[in-house]
Amino acid sequence: MTDIFPDTRGAVKDNLPIKEVTINSKESTNKALFIPVERSQAGKEEALEEAFYNGAIAAIWEKEYPLPRFIPTDFPIYYVPNTREALHDLAIHFLNLVRPITIVFVGKDDLKTKELTVSLLNETYRVHSTSRITGNDELLTNILTMPKATEVFCLDVAVDYLLELSSLSKLGIDLVVMTDFGQIENNYHSAVNEFAQTSVELLSNIKQNGKGIIDGDLVVFNGLNYNDIIVSIGFDPVNRIHIECDLNKLLMRESSGVKQYKIPEGYGPKQVAFAIKIANHFQLEEDQIYNFLYR
């Protein structure tokens, strides 16, 4: 902490056992570092007091504001110019420390895709998966809940909030998985171009050797340049991976040939196709994928 935030006060060098990071002052915590992200000084002071009595053992604080009198002199404080920027810096630092393979799922109804993918990857990797992300602060605090042993980090982003997540493209993403845009595409035609531009920006910030896996049947991706980074999946034959289904059988056609898989009960063909393609990126053996789907 002192390497990232060297301007401090209190017992910051006593090897504090900080076990979690929170921006929610109302929840009871277990030895938490509290970061008040409220806009006003009064809001920050009220939140800090609440967090202090709910178990916070250290806090990040904007230096321009005096500390409230109730804070003990030995309570560890890390001074910063801006607490929201500090939350971002801390999350990125931790992400770079753990260095997981990061997958971002973006979609209106992508929970089943993520669920199947996480179950499949859990066969081989230590996977940490978030609940649905709806804002920047939530995105960053979710990063800080990740166990240090995490090998694969799965972020689930609500498509409605995609335009608001300014931190997302700065994370160093290995896989961007765009499954569907639901009502965004159907009911908000004026926003389609903006979503397409944001999607392209996200896809262009993928790490070297990363991939973008998209639902190529979506209107929002019409005209997108399908380069080597982007893999399109869909029922339309123009997709790089053309899928067909018959009852519980899935056919995946690509340049290397045709493969058949079982569609497990409760899942759709696209959800299975996405999970398989992600597993291919992780170089899971075909036998392992088949055995998982037929289990």
Q: For residue 195, give Cα distances in angstroms to 46, 74, 215.
A: 37, 48, 14
What is the per-residue pLDDT across 39-55, written as a single tens digit (0 to 9) for each?
A: 899 999 999 999 999 99
Instruction: Using alpha carbons, select from 131, 111, 280 the residue that is nearest to residue 211.
Output: 280
Q: Quick check: 26 pLDDT over 90?
A: yes
CB distance 103 to 146 below 8 Å: no
What is the per-residue pLDDT across 187-233, written as a single tens digit (0 to 9) for each?
A: 444 556 666 667 767 777 788 888 889 998 887 777 666 567 889 99
What is the per-residue pLDDT across 110-152, written as a single tens digit (0 to 9) for each?
A: 788 999 999 999 999 999 998 888 888 888 999 999 999 999 9
Longest dimension (CA), the chain: 70
Any bridge partners for residue 178, and if so which?
106, 214
pLDDT category at 182 given cuts 50, 70, 90 is: low
Mean pLDDT of the chain: 87
Share of the chain above pLDDT 90, in %: 61
Q: What is the pLDDT of residue 202?
A: 77
Angle, helix 111-121 to helix 286-294, in steps of 10 degrees: 120
Q: What is the pLDDT of residue 153?
A: 96
Q: Quick check: 163 pLDDT over 70?
A: no
The answer to pTM > 0.85 is yes
